[in-house]
């Protein structure tokens, strides 16, 4: 298994290009299942999760042409096998995003239930409940969701659906299913993350009729069929936020090319109150921070909530900043039940953090000291890399396959900014 070796203490300076968003690319690859015509996606990030999704689609019979430039062309002909097998789904829960498109296009689908995952049980009951409201018959047999359309209907039918909680992929699955349903669907309590309006923009480009994406109420009027489209994946706000926090910790001045400030308001607000300088400039974001965060930056309390609140996917990264800033902070994780696994590893690096249920109490320290640490999930691995950048001496981050799921060439981007980091087999 690969690991990263980091010599801490270097400031970050220069320019970094932010890649396409993982959490937009994954549903948008599945949206290609909704049409028999070719769909071209630009700015698709080169990530393990994207590779897994492409394997899943290829396994169904989707014709895929991938260019090194991050352009992917997909054609889901009528001869598709609407199945998502366990061996692929178990490695990536986002595979459940194939369920809505397959069912609404082909009238039946066999999709493995996603296993659990490190950060929580992450059930898909809301996806199932919503599809059932649209006339789907879904039985769980031998670990698979066997979905079909009730009473031999050819199409799902529009429905008014209120999910019990805000769910990002639940909203995406139901929005995609509704594009080919008979009549109007209204999604109440819909997720508002920027990846949802980006998906809606792609679907509308395919001929779908959608209003309100990005708000808590989305209206979709079903159509008979969707045509092909060319779409550019929105930039990754979590990768951008991760680099903002990294510069805040190490000090330096970096231009984040392609970063979109509108998608990061809650994170930028906290970074600015901590004492980081962030400017929105043409084509991206400019961030600068003084060396030695313990002298210059103030720790910030926050609680993760649904968009536009502070994103749970930025909780582990911001915790590193709190660990080395001055003062103390209280971090509350309200979305997932087990998303503090990075804490024990940060404590090994010398951080002072105590967990009390959903709350972590952090006391900033003047220095972290390098050590061997182990990644446990995607965003935890990013936080350990960041901690390694500021810790004194050498830090080795193991199991970085977690990092490769959601960050494109992280170590080469950091090295280009002056970090002393290398990947060893
Ligand atoms: C998406 O996961 C993201 N993944 C996650 O990013 C992100 O952390 C999460 O949204 C929250 O923002 C993708 O977009 C591929 P949810 P998702 O459904 O859709 C509960 C990363 O690091 N819930 O919004 O799976 C669930 O357990 C990943 O890039 C149900 O109970 O999250 C959680 O507590 C990690 N039943 C809460 O809702 C359901 O049917 C929010 O989950 C669905 C969700």
Q: In sequence order, which residues have a C-beta less than 8 Å from that of residue 356 and are 6 or more positions away?
A: none
Q: Tell which atom from ligand 1 comes closest to the C-alpha of 120.
A: 27
pLDDT (tens digit per residue) in 265-279: 999 999 999 999 999
Residue keyed to tokens 């059930």: 123
| Residue 120 CA, ligand 1 centroid: distance in Å | 9
Q: What is the pLDDT of residue 297?
A: 98
For the Cβ of 406 lying below 6 angstroms from any atom of ligand 1, the answer is yes
Q: State the Cα–Cα distance between residues 389 and 387, nearest whole angstrom.
A: 5
Q: What is the pLDDT of residue 152?
A: 85
- Report residue 117's pLDDT band, with 50, 70 and 90 as the boundaries: confident
Average pLDDT, the chain: 97
Give the percent of the chain with pLDDT over 90. Answer: 95
pLDDT (tens digit per residue) in 52-83: 999 999 999 999 999 988 999 999 999 999 99
Q: Tell which atom from ligand 1 comes closest to the C-alpha of 125.
A: 40
Task: Give every strand in the sheet of 394-398, ordered side by side.
Answer: 372-374, 394-398, 3-7, 420-424
For the Cβ of 179 lying below 6 angstroms from any atom of ligand 1, the answer is no
Q: Is the pLDDT of residue 375 over 80?
A: yes
Instruction: Please name the residue whose Cα sits nearest to atom 42 of ligand 1.
Output: 167
- Report residue 120's pLDDT band, with 50, 70 and 90 as the boundaries: confident
Task: Specify whether the backbone of 418 is left (phi greater than 0), alpha (psi in -120 to 50) or beta.
Answer: left
For the Cβ of 393 lying below 6 angstroms from any atom of ligand 1, the answer is no
The two structure tokens encoding residue 323 = 């660990």
Residue keyed to tokens 């994406």: 213
Q: Is the pLDDT of residue 155 over 90?
A: yes
pLDDT (tens digit per residue) in 340-349: 999 999 999 9
Q: Residues 18-36: what's their mean pLDDT?
A: 98
Give the percent of the chain with pLDDT over 70. Answer: 100
Catalytic center residues: 117
The two structure tokens encoding residue 369 = 């000291």
Q: What is the pLDDT of residue 307?
A: 98
Q: Residues 37-57: what's their mean pLDDT?
A: 97
Q: Residues 235-249: what's their mean pLDDT?
A: 98
Q: What is the pLDDT of residue 344?
A: 97
Q: Tell which atom from ligand 1 comes closest to the C-alpha of 27.
A: 15
The two structure tokens encoding residue 355 = 């967990």
Q: What is the pLDDT of residue 398?
A: 97
Q: Residues 16-37: what's their mean pLDDT?
A: 98
Task: Give, to the nearest 10 degrees, the angle between helix 265-274 and helix 315-324.
Answer: 0
pLDDT (tens digit per residue) in 277-310: 999 999 999 999 999 999 999 999 999 999 999 9
Instruction: Please name the residue whose Cα sits nearest to atom 30 of ligand 1.
Output: 123
Q: Is the pLDDT of residue 99 over 80?
A: yes
For the Cβ of 130 lying below 6 angstroms from any atom of ligand 1, the answer is no
Q: Is the pLDDT of residue 137 over 90?
A: yes
Site to probe by mutation for ligand 1, drawn from 26, 165, 264, 382 as the one with most ligand atoms within 8 Å of Cβ, is 165
Q: Residues 124-150: what's their mean pLDDT?
A: 96
Q: Is the pLDDT of residue 409 over 80?
A: yes
Q: What is the pLDDT of residue 287?
A: 98
Q: What is the pLDDT of residue 114?
A: 87
């Amino acid at each position: 298994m690969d690991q990263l070796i980091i010599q801490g203490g270097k400031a970050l300076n220069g320019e970094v290009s932010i890649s396409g968003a993982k959490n937009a690319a994954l549903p948008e690859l599945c949206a290609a299942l909704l049409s028999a015509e070719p769909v071209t996606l630009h700015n698709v990030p080169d990530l393990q999760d994207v590779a897994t999704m492409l394997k899943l689609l290829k396994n169904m019979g989707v014709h895929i042409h991938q260019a090194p430039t991050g352009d992917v062309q997909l054609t889901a002909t009528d001869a598709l096998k609407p199945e998502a097998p366990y061996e692929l789904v178990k490695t990536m829960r986002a595979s459940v995003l194939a369920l809505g498109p397959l069912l609404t296009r082909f009238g039946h689908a066999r999709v493995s239930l996603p296993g659990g995952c490190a950060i929580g049980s992450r059930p898909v009951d809301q996806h199932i409940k919503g599809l059932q409201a649209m006339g789907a018959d879904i039985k769980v047999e031998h670990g698979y969701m066997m979905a079909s359309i009730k009473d031999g209907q050819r199409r799902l039918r529009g429905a008014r659906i209120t999910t019990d909680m805000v769910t990002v992929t639940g909203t995406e699955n139901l929005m995609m299913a509704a594009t080919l349903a008979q009549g109007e669907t209204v999604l109440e309590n819909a997720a508002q993350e920027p990846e949802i309006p980006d998906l809606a923009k792609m679907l509308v480009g395919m001929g779908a009729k959608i209003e309100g994406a990005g708000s808590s109420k989305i209206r979709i009027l079903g159509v008979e069929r969707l045509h092909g489209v060319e779409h550019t994946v929105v930039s990754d706000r979590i990768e951008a936020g991760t680099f903002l926090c990294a510069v805040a910790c190490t000090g330096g001045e970096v231009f984040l090319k392609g970063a979109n400030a509108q998608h990061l308001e809650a994170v930028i607000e906290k970074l600015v109150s901590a004492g980081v300088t962030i400017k929105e400039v043409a084509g991206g974001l400019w961030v600068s921070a003084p060396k030695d965060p313990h002298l210059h930056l103030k720790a910030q309390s926050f609680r993760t909530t649904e968009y536009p609140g502070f994103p749970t996917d930025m909780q582990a990264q911001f915790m590193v900043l709190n660990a080395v800033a001055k003062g103390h902070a209280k971090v509350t994780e309200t979305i997932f039940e087990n998303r503090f696994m990075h804490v024990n590893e940060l404590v090994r690096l010398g951080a002072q953090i105590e967990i009390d249920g959903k709350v972590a109490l952090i006391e900033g320290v003047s220095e972290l000291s390098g050590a061997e640490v182990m990644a446990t999930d995607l965003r935890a691995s990013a936080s350990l890399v960041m901690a390694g950048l500021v810790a004194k001496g050498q830090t080795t981050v193991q199991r970085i396959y977690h990092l490769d799921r959601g960050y494109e060439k992280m170590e080469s981007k950091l090295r280009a900014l002056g970090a002393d980091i290398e990947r060893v087999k």
